[in-house]
Structure 1
């Protein structure tokens, strides 16, 4: 879908925490309850110790996503799969700095395939690793857990987020935070400069397609805590 840039807080539920037997209905439920983006975690069992979705699954999700499909590749190598995820309908395609030797080329290829290019930083990777990529990137994803599994404990990366925010300046680049985001951690990362919050367990916990209002309550709790941080700034 066409994307306009703004720095308002966006909640991007990760469907890694959804009911795997009911993805279409789960996507419709979270969007109906206020999700801004839908976050899809792609894992290869090699770059990270887990295995999830390939291009056919992402293409199937696309039919249900009416907002923004934010596809996060935790795979290596990335380049051979860029066209497949473009054809599957990704709006944003994010690759890790650590996934290959030529991340600049990878971001060029993602943009060339018609998608917004994202670049992700693992907890041990400094902000400076993307200093020369910011004119190609539309999004920098700061991992606040080590990638591979949902439900992990938040790792404080606020100093890195603040550094990135200063580096980005007035460029139209989102700062996304992925890992351990909930109403307690959301204001911390938003105050540091993040504007896209990926949340899995914190959105889906306690709810279901039949109890979608709980998804809405969870999304509003995260957004409310994050918005309070922006208002206090």
Structure 2
């Protein structure tokens, strides 16, 4: 199945509710949380997350680009997060973090930066509903897609199939009409798209176009 996840990092902050409603046809909403420490940028916090949750019933995928993410799990679940995706580079216990998320009644996911190897985490995939491959350095939108990260996608795809798991492979960074097919062909199922959705005159049509391009490449 193909999932298109518009990133509100590229939305109009002054009309956030309106922009979220424009992508009611999206499969989920991607919420980037940045603390200015793990990544050199600040973005949304729990109040904005709660505001988004109040205007949509869509699944909220929380991308926690923050240090010691476990300390904030309960806060973001309380704000409406449905899946907590944390960076393995930001925690010393990714397995414990996954269990903590599950104990809070939500899904768990982990993300890896472009330079982080996926192999050390392959044996723990059964604990995660999603693995997010970063195809740019996390922290800022509008960066250029890094195709070399698709090797990690292929490794994940093979291991997930071999183990018979339902773990979703997601990709975040530089996803647009010109890159989504390459990612889909490699095995990505969930695509985070910012300006490729909210930068268009018709965001809903952009979502459908991206979904079609991904489906055709699978």
Query: Same fold by TM-score, threshold 0.5 exceeded?
Result: yes
Task: Indicate conservation of the 8 Å contact 1:11/1:199, yes or no.
Answer: yes
Mapped pair 1:197 → 2:191: yes
Higher helix content, 1 or 2 = 2
Counterpart of 1:113 (choices 104, 108, 114) is 104
Report if the CA contact (8 A) 2:19-2:198 is conserved.
Answer: no
Counterpart of 1:162?
A: 154
- 27, 33, 37: which one aligns with 1:46: 37
Q: How does 1:17-28 map to 2 (within 5 A)?
A: 17-28=10-21
TM-score (norm 2): 0.96
Note the alpha carbon deviations across 1:43-96, whole angstroms, 9 max, x for none: 000000110111122111111122211110000011111111111111111000
- Residues 63-72 or 138-147, more deviating: 63-72
| 1:130 aligned partner | 121
CA contact (8 A) 2:200 2:206 kept: no
Deviations 1:136-187 (A, max 9, x none): 1000000000000000000011111000111112211100000000111111
Q: Report matched runs for 1:1-233 at 5 Å.
A: 8-31=1-24, 34-156=25-147, 157-169=149-161, 170-207=164-201, 214-230=202-218
2 CA distance for matches of 1:133 and 1:68? 24
Q: Per-residue deviation at 1:227?
A: 1.1
Cα distance in 1 between the residues matched to 2:188 and 2:87: 18
The CA distance in 1 between the partners of 2:8 and 2:60, in whole Å, is: 11
Runs (4+) off by over 4 Å: none
1:193 positional shift: 0.8
What secondary structure does 1:53 align onto? coil
TM-score by length of 1: 0.90
C-alpha distance in structure 2 between counterparts of 1:206 and 1:165, whole Å: 31
Give the SS at the match of 1:70.
Answer: strand
SS in 2 for 1:41: strand
Aligned length: 215
Q: What secondary structure, in the 3-state scheme, does the structure 1 residue paired with 2:96 have?
A: helix
Q: Secondary structure at the match of 1:134?
A: helix
What are the ranges of 5 or more consecutive residues in structure 1 without an aligned counterpart? 1-7, 208-213
Gapped runs of 5+ residues in structure 2? Answer: none
- Residue 210 of structure 1 corresponds to none
Q: CA deviation at 1:228?
A: 0.9
CA RMSD of aligned residues (A): 1.0
